[in-house]
Amino acid sequence: MTFDYDLFVIGGGSGGVRAARVASATGAKVGLAEEFRMGGTCVIRGCVPKKLMVFASHYSEAFADARAYGWDVEDGTFHWSRFQKKLHAELDRLEGIYRKLLDGSGVEIFDSRARLKDPHTVALADGKEVTAKHILVATGGRPVLPEIDGAELGITSNDIFNLAELPKNILIVGGGYIASEFACILNGLGVNVTQYYRGAQILRGFDDEARALVAEGMKAKGIDLHLGTNIVEMREATADDIKGVSEGVPMEDGKPAQLPQKGVGKGIWVKSTNGNEHVFDQVMFATGRAPNTNDMGLEEAGVEVGRRGEAVVDEYSQTAVPSIYAIGDVTNRVQLTPVAIREGMAFVETVFKGNPTPVDHELIPSAIFTQPELGTVGLSEEDAREQEPVEIYCTSFKPMNHAFADREDRVLMKLVVSKESRKVLGCHIVADQAGEMIQLAGIAVKMGATKEDFDRTVAVHPTMAEELVTMKEPMRTA
């Protein structure tokens, strides 16, 4: 059978674009369809704009630090519209780069929604149909609203970059990395932030000691964090709600000090599980994401779809249909952009280079851009001690730059070490630039470095990271 394409990719995010480009470089004829903007979640509504907002949010604290270091400076005023204009210009530039890379690689682009018709046919929204020997689904994921009455009044992380203006106050619901990062970002930009999480501690799944220090640091910076708390009910606020509220909108002389802002709604009344009632300018939900498989034709084509809507794949990213593969968040394996890119590369090695390459999901470093920042690789202390006896090397201290500026922020450096093999099973850092540090530590952990390998490494002084190689005695065993 003759096909229009050797490979047709559905989805123009980082994973899909990389797979399309690399496959095309092998001589394959490749097409790619994207219904929204090239770059996907990471470039358009995720990692990149979020990290730029992280940078912007640090300056409120930097003004105080500068004065402590002898600079004569005044606190500046953050102009959301000025930042937002430059932010969107940068996203436009990056999208243009993605398109040029595809064009330069010979990939044919279709700016259209696409869905599967059968194992070798893709139907485009304009009515056109194309055939392909192989189809790669790389449609990513999306944030979902919880099943709460009135949830439609809230926003998600997709909406935060497009607000006409910043709210005076906001409730963020969720305790994962997205909720916690945006709580820190908006707090740094001057928004009064309240965060509800139904669990006992934020950042579930990460090392307990590390996430506790992050939570402590967030509260110290002014975030009103409520654990074991969720929304019972929410609706548009009435005049009586606004008049009677005491926390979401502070009262001064019997009148609301901060009315809900023009342009961000009439205000949202929220009742929580602890019985409190508040009015917020905005409510942002970061309570989960779902794979983008709705109305994609996957099941009709024979692809198995899991309980959470994910495309079910094997270790080579192949679905139950031999001609159809899936990578990235749509598979709900590890929801990280670099992982999607790696999966795309492994797919090309397997299908177009005759080199069957399973995807390696072990020992993936990651960073949470909260304030303070968290970097982690490998096993948490809790997970490691369930597997084997371990030693815990850990230190917490006030770093030089914070101590000099009279800031209370503390750093955590932690190594989880196997008693038997002496391998470092996990490394966890809570500190400024923890993400930069964990990238390098991740190399050593991935290589199987032992605690003695760390010990033999000469410290770089004075740095925070030198503590990783100077901790000689375990703090505890487990």
* pLDDT tens, position by position, 189-236: 999 999 999 999 999 999 999 999 999 999 999 999 999 999 999 999
**CATH code for the domain defined by 366-477:** 3.30.390.30
Contact 223, 187 (CB under 8 A): yes
Q: Which residues of the chain have pLDDT under 70?
A: 243-266
Fold of 151-285: FAD/NAD(P)-binding domain (3.50.50)
Phi-psi bin for 140: left (phi > 0), alpha (psi -120 to 50), beta?
A: left
CATH number for 5-142+289-352: choose from 3.40.190.10, 3.50.50.60, 3.90.850.10, 3.40.50.620.
3.50.50.60
pLDDT at residue 240, rounded to an integer: 77
pLDDT at residue 244, rounded to an integer: 60
What is the C-alpha to C-alpha distance for residues 145 and 134, in angstroms, rounded to an integer? 34
DSSP secondary structure letter of residue 329: G
Domain ranges of the chain: 5-142+289-352, 151-285, 366-477
pLDDT at residue 75, rounded to an integer: 86
Query: What does pTM read for this prediction?
Result: 0.92
What is the C-alpha to C-alpha distance for residues 353 and 27, in angstroms, rounded to an integer? 11
pLDDT at residue 198, rounded to an integer: 96
What is the C-alpha to C-alpha distance for residues 37 and 13, in angstroms, rounded to an integer? 9
pLDDT at residue 239, rounded to an integer: 82
pLDDT at residue 1, rounded to an integer: 80
Catalytic site positions: 461
Please indicate whether the domains covering 5-142+289-352 and 366-477 agree at the CATH topology level: no
Question: Which residue pairs from 295-299 have beta carbons closer than 8 angstroms and sit at least 24 positions apart in sequence?
Answer: 295/115, 296/10, 296/115, 296/116, 296/137, 296/139, 297/115, 297/116, 297/117, 297/123, 298/116, 298/137
Q: Which helix (H) or strand (E) holds 246?
A: none
pLDDT at residue 263, rounded to an integer: 36
